[in-house]
Amino acid sequence: MLTWTLLLFPLLGAVAGVLAGLLGIGGGLVLVTALVWLLPLYGVPADAAMHAALATALASIVLTGLSSTRAHHLRASVLWPTVAWMIPGVLLGGWLGSWVAVLLDGDVLRWCVIAYCAVVGTQLLLSRTSGSRGADVVPTGVGLSGAGVGIGALASVVGIGGGSMTVPLLVWLGVSPVRAVGTSSACGVFVALAAAAGYALQAPVDVVPGASWGYVYVPGALGIAVASVLAAPWGTRIAHAISGTVLKRVFAVFLYLVGASLLFL
């Protein structure tokens, strides 16, 4: 194995960490796309590359989300009562989504990620950043648990922490954008935890060679996670210091490019 490829995992982790802190989007879509191209270099079979990319990205997002959540918590930007209501739903949804994904063909999952990149990119292009509206709003209730099931299930199928769904939901419910991002980071930890465990425990035996746990390629997940933990607070600082409008537009275009790259697999 070429030594230089080992540097790509922490590089990917740094990108994911900044995005997690900045936009409440853990870079999962970026990670999945990069890993689909990278993991075959480590002997992952082509027909398992998509599943392994999703599982490895989600496993790394657990630590990314923890780092981002801690940074936001220190700035009082995590609405813990809201997180508590969402946890049961996202745990169930994350596990069910991974169960469905394991049964799906890799090409089907690839098209799911392509479609999601297009949807999220368009959402970011069309969204408007609000001001301090809803600074004291703390949504609670069983409806959040129900929404969490859908968020967790879809997030696990496309390999993300669910921030691109949770943040708009919370802002719509009246939460200020910065607190929505912080709360989403906390919820994303549980989405990724349940989904990664599902991919690990429900995978065929020895489907991914080397140091792996089910579909999770452990060296890749750890390399990404270590760098993302260090980078996430930088994204959080930027999120609290400047408007994210321009950055959202840039990231939207980047997502279009990410989705387009999967067309050539």
Q: 158-189 pLDDT, tens per residue?
A: 988 888 889 889 988 988 878 888 899 899 99
Q: What is the pLDDT of residue 255?
A: 81
Which of 61-75, 178-192, 230-244 is predicted least confidently?
230-244
Q: Among residues of the chain, what percentage have pLDDT more than 70?
A: 87
CA distance 181 to 192: 16
Listed range (8-17, 58-67, 76-85, 158-167) with the worst mean pLDDT? 8-17
211/200: higher pLDDT: 200
C-alpha dihedral, 155 to 161 to 165 to 167, nearest 10°: 170
Q: Minimal CA–CA distance to 52: which of 204, 228, 225, 163?
A: 204
Mean pLDDT of the residues in the chain: 84
Q: What is the pLDDT of residues 8-46, one digit of tens each?
A: 888 888 877 777 666 656 577 888 888 998 899 888 888
**What is the number of alpha carbons within 13 Å of residue 101 lying toward its C-beta?**
38
CA distance 222 to 161: 17
* Alpha carbon distance 265, 11 (integer Å): 22
pLDDT > 80? residue 74? yes
Tokens of 82: 């809201």
Q: Sorting pLDDT into bands at 50, 70 and 90, what band is 210?
A: confident
